[in-house]
Chain A
Amino acid sequence: MNYSIVFYILGWILNVEAAFMLLPCIVAVIYGETAGWCFPIVMGISFLIGTPLVIRKPKNTVFYTAEAFVAVSLGWILLSIMGGLPFLISGYITNPVDALFETVSGFTTTGASILTDVEVLPHCLLFWRSFTHWIGGMGVLVFILSLLPSLGGGGTHMNLMKAESPGPSVSRMLPTVKSTAKILYEIYIGLTILQIILLLLGKMPLFDALTITFGTAGTGGFAIKNSSMMDYSPYLQNVTTIFMILFGVNFNAYFFILIRKFRQAFGSEEVRSYLLIIAVSIAIITVNIMPMYSGLSESLRHAAFQVASIITTTGYATANFDEWPELSRAILVLLMFIGACAGSTGGGIKVSRVVILMKTACKEMTQVLHPNAVKKVKMDGKLVEHEVVRSTNVFLVVYLVIFAASVLLVSLDNFDAVTNFTAVAATFNDVGPGLGMVGPVGNYSAYSNFSKLVLTFDMLAGRLEIFPLLILFSRDTWRKF
């Protein structure tokens, strides 16, 4: 383990976070909020710690997968700790565990909150809370990669990208990782601006438009009202629905559109499956909830919004889906696990993994019927390498183990099974709201500190796809040889 380069990267993370905090400062100045003072203080702390770490580029530039994974997971933990300080310093959250939970929930784009009343927060804190979604959606390391000069050997950037990007495999769109990171952020910013404009056209106030868009873009789900998205006009809700679905699409598709390779953009099996799942779910739920609403258009609007919100793991709500019929609730819980496309900002198991797993199961069935058959798993007409299939299977197993362990640990708080199960599902898949006490109108404040820490771990593990976080617990990682 090359600690010097890990610290160098951590230093950059601190500095970049401090730079990001300039935005809530501006918000504080505009609204004249004194609570805004907490941001310059935290920025100062971040700079003080961060600058000495980056002042000298480490001589030892040995940087491999292990360093990348450690840098990413430690980076995210550090980011969350520093990001939580403004809440503590301003006094709006008094419990440090709560502050950590809230910020991790922000950066991992979960949107699970421990606040019972978000409307009492000053604008600057609300802004920061939503802005963490936007930062976490595409990833901090990817952001740093697109700015920073080369750190070390050729593999440096790819390793970092692999560790931070969701999905079973990372494809680079451009020859260099740096330019790939740049184009990713350009697409991200482009879509963000487009949504802000569309929301403003629907007469949404600028502050609301910004924060809602940040939550949508990162597929986060922190709203600035206690009622989440319920009070906005149908137009605004529909715009949000569409953008949630768009941000859940693999960003490669947008890249192909940009370079005018439309067939590849729309031919992707993953994107098609993703859209199909959404369409089918919306159809079933619309019919299922029809009796509760005053007609097809209203139930369609709510069904579409909730399905989009859950499958992309955003977590906004226009209706209290906890009160919906069992079938609809069950579908929504299943959608939590499926999650968005790989290479998007969403969480969950990822559609591409689900597709690979299904195809593996089909292959296995053929193998039972024709023991000597030679069959391979293919996707988009290309062979899925055995290594990818294997790692997908292993991912699922580890995912289930952590899931089960988390449910067990959270059950110590003695809440009902639905609440515990969906609380873990909603945090581990980075969705936000679950069912029962943690439903769209509830929150996580009732859980004990211990459970909150377990759920915090789940959120980070879900966002970083488990292994970067797990290797922190391996003795091998810290040993010199």
Chain B
Amino acid sequence: MDIIIIGCGKVGVALAEDLVQEDHNVTMIDTSPERLQTLSEDIDAIKLVGNGASIAMQMEAGVQTADILIAVTGSDEMNLLCCLIARKAGKCHTIARVRNPVYSNEINFIKQTLGISMIINPELAAAMEISRVLRLPSAIRIDPFSRGRVELLKFKVKPEFRLSGKSVREIDNQIGGTVLFAGVERGDEVTIPDGNFVLQDGDLVSFIATPKNSVGFFHNLGIHTNRAKSVLIVGGGTISYYLARQLASMHVRVKIVEKDRARCEFLTENLPGALIINGDGTDRRLLMEEGLTSTEAFVTLTNMDEENVFLTLFARENCGAKLVTKVNRIAFDELLSKLDLGTLIYPKYITSDYIIQYVRAMQNTIGSNVETLYHILDGRAEALEFVIREKSEVTDIPLMNISLKKNLLIACINRGGVIHIPRGQDSIQVGDTVVVITSQRGLHDIRDILKK
């Protein structure tokens, strides 16, 4: 497909990298020649210098024949204008990043009247991801499928769970097959486990289950899964704003520590339920005074990755709270994942995940398409959700008779709202939603699961 990306900031580059890897023809537009020059040559794309909202520029980039235009410049209005012009000039789908909270309640109106296919708000998406995790603090990460009917949860195996040395089959028998282990990360190794796989302490285990069963599973391990009732947030940026708003509706007590006085005043005006503290989040005394030791969750959302990581490490030593850390730069992610920082949130990942997901869904014209996509297992595997719209080679055949690709797992089948953890005798039918976990990138169609 032909894809135009306007704006080559962090997200634009990440998107281009991913899309090029999936064999799309990418054209990148940015106003700054220096920025385009510094992009590494690994991104095999056309790079144009100019104003992306200019019709001449868009024509040069081939907007008339392009399939998708993605506007991810720093300015919301610029992004919307780019999309609007592209809609008039060509017939492509348009995706815009709009992050100003003022527009967040008007997204649907904007989308409909301007004919934009998708509007992504990275901060809102990140806040939603955090609030999901705070609802079930035992999990490091929760990704919903099928509008929340199924979840992919990740947790760390600790000695007190007494899971070490048990095989996946044993655990399965013990809890009655209500969850499915989708992946295990041990050190640098990522495995999609079979029944004989033996767990160890320190493993990061991802599993798929319905929300009810996942709570039951944690109960079985003797973990309290009560949702956090108090949250201390450091950094009063846009993510904290969205997060506090969502938490307030869940009746969670929220305290936000923010350095900038004016920002504090904005927050206290717009978040009547939250307690806004004006102060430096790295002030140890302030954190202690505001109850770091007694909070149930501690979320670091400052703009400095170093501060976030540092604060989380400090909190880990001083309290038993659920920890959430925001990381902007992903260059050192292997290192960070070794530090046991609780839940890591990469806003940049979230944005590109959402867009890639849309691109894949769009690309697919053959009847089944990708509904949802997540990078899981440290970005080395993907969880995809397909909707089966028509008969194909994979439908109506018992799964044990299908020869699947290596490192691929059919994790669950949603049939008319009922979630099945599939066994060998089950088969995929038209109308099902299927979640597939795989370490193979670039799955676009349900038929891609077959070994070729």
**Interface set of A (CB-CB < 8 Å, partner B):** 62, 64-66, 153, 155, 479-481
Residue among B230, B253, B289 with most chain A CB within 10 A:
B289
Q: List 7 A-B contacts (CB under 8 A).
A: A62-B288, A62-B289, A62-B293, A65-B289, A479-B253, A481-B295, A481-B296
Which residues on the A side are within 8 Å of B289 (C-beta)? 62, 64-66
* Residue among A65, A66, A481 making CB contact with B253, cutoff 8 Å: A481
**B residues 272-330 touching A (CB-CB < 8 Å):** 285, 288-289, 291, 293-296
Give, as a whole number of angstroms, the nearest-CB distance from B253 to chain A: 6
Give, as a whole number of angstroms, the nearest-CB distance from B202 to chain A: 30
Which residues on the B side are within 8 Å of A481 (C-beta)? 230, 232, 253, 255, 291, 294-296
The answer for the CA separation of A65 and B255 in the assembled complex, in Å, is: 17
The answer for the CA separation of A215 and B176 in the assembled complex, in Å, is: 78
The answer on a CB contact under 8 Å between B285 and A480 is: no
- List the 7 closest pairs (A to B, CB-CB), nearest first: A481-B230, A480-B294, A64-B289, A481-B291, A481-B294, A481-B295, A62-B288
The answer for the CA separation of A188 and B232 in the assembled complex, in Å, is: 45
The answer for the CA separation of A155 and B288 in the assembled complex, in Å, is: 13
Which residues on the B side are within 8 Å of A62 (C-beta)? 288-289, 293
Instruction: Tell me the nearest residue of chain A to B321, going by C-beta.
Output: A481
The answer on a CB contact under 8 Å between B288 and A64 is: yes
The answer for the CA separation of A65 and B232 in the assembled complex, in Å, is: 19
The answer on a CB contact under 8 Å between A155 and B253 is: no
Instruction: Tell me the nearest residue of chain B to A479, going by C-beta.
Output: B253
Give, as a whole number of angstroms, the nearest-CB distance from B290 to chain A: 9
The answer for the CA separation of A321 and B296 in the assembled complex, in Å, is: 61
Which residues on the A side are within 8 Å of B285 (C-beta)? 153, 155
The answer for the CA separation of A422 and B296 in the assembled complex, in Å, is: 50
Instruction: Tell me the nearest residue of chain B to A155, going by C-beta.
Output: B285
Which residues on the B side are within 8 Å of A153 (C-beta)? 285
The answer for the CA separation of A379 and B442 in the assembled complex, in Å, is: 73
The answer for the CA separation of A153 and B289 in the assembled complex, in Å, is: 11
Which residues on the A side are within 8 Å of B295 (C-beta)? 481
Instruction: Annotate B237-281 by CB proximity to A: 1 below 8 A, 0 otherwise.
Output: 000000000000000010100000000000000000000000000
Give, as a whole number of angstroms, the nearest-CB distance from B85 to chain A: 47
Give, as a whole number of angstroms, the nearest-CB distance from A65 to chain B: 7
The answer for the CA separation of A193 and B354 in the assembled complex, in Å, is: 81
Give, as a whole number of angstroms, the nearest-CB distance from B277 to chain A: 12
Instruction: Tell me the nearest residue of chain A to B230, going by C-beta.
Output: A481
Which residues on the B side are within 8 Å of A480 (C-beta)? 230, 291, 294
Instruction: Tell me the nearest residue of chain A to B293, going by C-beta.
Output: A62
The answer for the CA separation of A481 and B292 in the assembled complex, in Å, is: 8
The answer for the CA separation of A292 and B412 in the assembled complex, in Å, is: 101
Give, as a whole number of angstroms, the nearest-CB distance from B291 to chain A: 4
Contacts A481-B291, A481-B296 known; 19 new A-B pairs at CB < 8 A: A62-B288, A62-B289, A62-B293, A64-B288, A64-B289, A65-B289, A66-B289, A153-B285, A155-B285, A479-B253, A480-B230, A480-B291, A480-B294, A481-B230, A481-B232, A481-B253, A481-B255, A481-B294, A481-B295
Give, as a whole number of angstroms, the nearest-CB distance from B195 to chain A: 43
Which residues on the B side are within 8 Å of A479 (C-beta)? 253
Give, as a whole number of angstroms, the nearest-CB distance from B139 to chain A: 21
Give, as a whole number of angstroms, the nearest-CB distance from A397 to chain B: 20
Which residues on the A side are within 8 Å of B291 (C-beta)? 480-481
Give, as a whole number of angstroms, the nearest-CB distance from A5 to chain B: 13
Instruction: Annotate B207-245 by CB proximity to A: 1 below 8 A, 0 otherwise.
Output: 000000000000000000000001010000000000000
Give, as a whole number of angstroms, the nearest-CB distance from A209 to chain B: 47
Give, as a whole number of angstroms, the nearest-CB distance from A150 to chain B: 16
The answer for the CA separation of A155 and B285 in the assembled complex, in Å, is: 10
Give, as a whole number of angstroms, the nearest-CB distance from B137 to chain A: 14
Give, as a whole number of angstroms, the nearest-CB distance from B296 to chain A: 7
The answer for the CA separation of A64 and B290 in the assembled complex, in Å, is: 9
The answer for the CA separation of A481 and B295 in the assembled complex, in Å, is: 6
Which residues on the B side are within 8 Å of A65 (C-beta)? 289
The answer for the CA separation of A155 and B283 in the assembled complex, in Å, is: 14
Which residues on the B side are within 8 Å of A64 (C-beta)? 288-289
The answer for the CA separation of A189 and B230 in the assembled complex, in Å, is: 49
Residue among A62, A479, A480, A481 with most chain B CB within 10 A:
A481
Instruction: Tell me the nearest residue of chain A to B288, going by C-beta.
Output: A62
The answer for the CA separation of A64 and B292 in the assembled complex, in Å, is: 13
The answer for the CA separation of A62 and B287 in the assembled complex, in Å, is: 11
Instruction: Annotate B357-389 by CB proximity to A: 1 below 8 A, 0 otherwise.
Output: 000000000000000000000000000000000
Instruction: Tell me the nearest residue of chain A to B297, going by C-beta.
Output: A481
Instruction: Tell me the nearest residue of chain B to A480, going by C-beta.
Output: B294
The answer for the CA separation of A481 and B253 in the assembled complex, in Å, is: 8
Give, as a whole number of angstroms, the nearest-CB distance from B206 to chain A: 30
Give, as a whole number of angstroms, the nearest-CB distance from A154 to chain B: 9
The answer for the CA separation of A481 and B288 in the assembled complex, in Å, is: 11
The answer for the CA separation of A479 and B285 in the assembled complex, in Å, is: 19
Instruction: Tell me the nearest residue of chain A to B296, going by C-beta.
Output: A481
The answer for the CA separation of A66 and B295 in the assembled complex, in Å, is: 16
Give, as a whole number of angstroms, the nearest-CB distance from B247 to chain A: 13
The answer for the CA separation of A64 and B230 in the assembled complex, in Å, is: 20
Which residues on the A side are within 8 Å of B255 (C-beta)? 481
The answer for the CA separation of A481 and B294 in the assembled complex, in Å, is: 6
Instruction: Tell me the nearest residue of chain B to A62, going by C-beta.
Output: B288
Which residues on the A side are within 8 Å of B288 (C-beta)? 62, 64
Residue among A62, A65, A153, A479 with most chain B CB within 10 A:
A62
Which residues on the A side are within 8 Å of B296 (C-beta)? 481
Give, as a whole number of angstroms, the nearest-CB distance from B227 to chain A: 14
Give, as a whole number of angstroms, the nearest-CB distance from A6 to chain B: 15
Give, as a whole number of angstroms, the nearest-CB distance from B101 to chain A: 26
The answer for the CA separation of A218 and B120 in the assembled complex, in Å, is: 68
Give, as a whole number of angstroms, the nearest-CB distance from B279 to chain A: 13
Give, as a whole number of angstroms, the nearest-CB distance from B120 to chain A: 34
Give, as a whole number of angstroms, the nearest-CB distance from B193 to chain A: 38
